[in-house]
Amino acid sequence: MIKVKKRKILLLPGDGIGPEVINEVQKIIEWFNKNKSLDFEVEEGLVGGASFEKYKSPITDEVFYKALESEAIILGAVGGPKWDNLEFSKRPERALLKLRKELKLFANLRPAICFKQLVDASSLKPEIISGLDIMIVRELTGGIYFGEPRGITPIENGERKGTNTHTYTTSEIHRVARVAFELAKKRKKTVTSCEKSNVMEAGMLWREEVQVLKDKEFKKVELKHMLADNCAMQLLKNPKQFDVIVTDNLFGDILSDEAAMLTGSLGLLPSASLGAKDKNGKMRAMYEPIHGSAPDIAGKNIANPIASILSLSMALRYSLELDSEANLLDLAVQQVLDDDLRTKDIMSAGKKEVGTTVMGDAIIAKLK
């Protein structure tokens, strides 16, 4: 077989169940290398609490430089009660913020898909949730999470004041909206932009600039504007009205979690954080499951690896331009669910409960 050029994938297992689910991802990468004439070069690094325990830092310069040199980063999960009392700069989650900010990963893609095999797991009626397929595009490096000034300061009368600043510029809005419109072109050609333009000037700017970009570059894509609180309500009332939703950092954080929970299967949902493409069409990107580190079940071989495996699928599709391989992996996951295999988190009557490694091996067995 002729080998294609080596492409670096950095695996960051992290904390809790992260190492267990990322181990299944590594097995699938090895399968692709062996059976599909691919030649991924895989490196690993410590991040989050695991990094703090060894280096007293949530991410080291060495691991960060590995991230800079990688075509795709796949993260397991970070955090846990063990590190809750650390000073803010040392907490495991700071590693994520550093990677997102320094790698300029400005667009977070969060699919909310209701798998047909798990429609009964949703808290909504089957007729409302069945067939759901939403993509939420969240701006990731601006807004109130990064704005200055920020902090807690003493004021008169012995009180304290907490300050966070919510700002966006035209270019920040355009670049994330462009990602949403490009995605919509390949889907149902509809984008819903969410903000709070009725009470926030930054929201007014967001609405105006998304409209400007649509009118200039994406005339064939339908654009709807919706207030973020109304969007939260509509996701519960009629979620299938949405295709692609684009919104800012704060509202995206909230709405994407809500949309994910609609599906009833958090353990199956991946995410992607994308940067801008360079002159050669390459971009930095990080992929991760949306679930947390779940320290209470770590080491028990019961964690669901599917969200991490589908994060690899997103990496194949968006970073490595291997759509056929991504489709193959997506199909394998669907076939395993069709075979009624379930990890503990998605188990129901009449199905077969399996552990992390058995689920990963079953998916590999479906790859052809």
Classified as helix, coil or strand, 44 is strand
Q: Judge whether 1-114+265-368 and 133-262 match in fold.
A: yes
Give me the active site residues, please.
Answer: 145, 196, 229, 253, 257
Kindly list the domain boundaries of the chain, sorted by start residue.
1-114+265-368, 133-262
Residue 325 pLDDT > 80: yes
Model pLDDT for residues 167-195, shown as the tens digit of each residue: 999 999 999 999 999 999 999 999 999 99
Does the pTM surpass 0.85? The reply is yes
Q: What percent of the chain has pLDDT over 90?
A: 86
User: What confidence category does residue 88 fall into, taking pLDDT thresholds of 50, 70 and 90?
Assistant: confident
- Those residues whose C-beta lies under 8 Å from the C-beta of residue 198, and which sit 6 or more positions away, are 227
Strands (E), the chain: 7-14, 40-44, 72-77, 107-113, 133-139, 147-154, 160-165, 190-195, 222-227, 244-247, 270-277, 283-289, 341-342, 352-353
Domain 1-114+265-368 has CATH 3.40.50.1100: no
- Those residues whose C-beta lies under 8 Å from the C-beta of residue 29, and which sit 6 or more positions away, are 9, 40, 42, 312
Task: Report CA dihedral (169, 170, 176, 177) to the nearest 10 degrees.
Answer: 140
d(CA 72, CA 67) in angstroms, rounded, equals 8
Task: Specify the pLDDT at position 1.
Answer: 45
Helices (H), 142-248: 170-185, 201-217, 228-237
Task: Specify the pLDDT at position 4.
Answer: 52
Class of domain 133-262 (CATH, top level): alpha beta
Place of tokens 């304290």: 160
Closest CA to 73 of 25, 113, 140: 25
Q: What is the mean pLDDT of residues 120-127?
A: 89
Specify the amino acid at residue 81: P
User: What confidence category does residue 147 fall into, taking pLDDT thresholds of 50, 70 and 90?
Assistant: very high
User: What confidence category does residue 163 fall into, taking pLDDT thresholds of 50, 70 and 90?
Assistant: very high
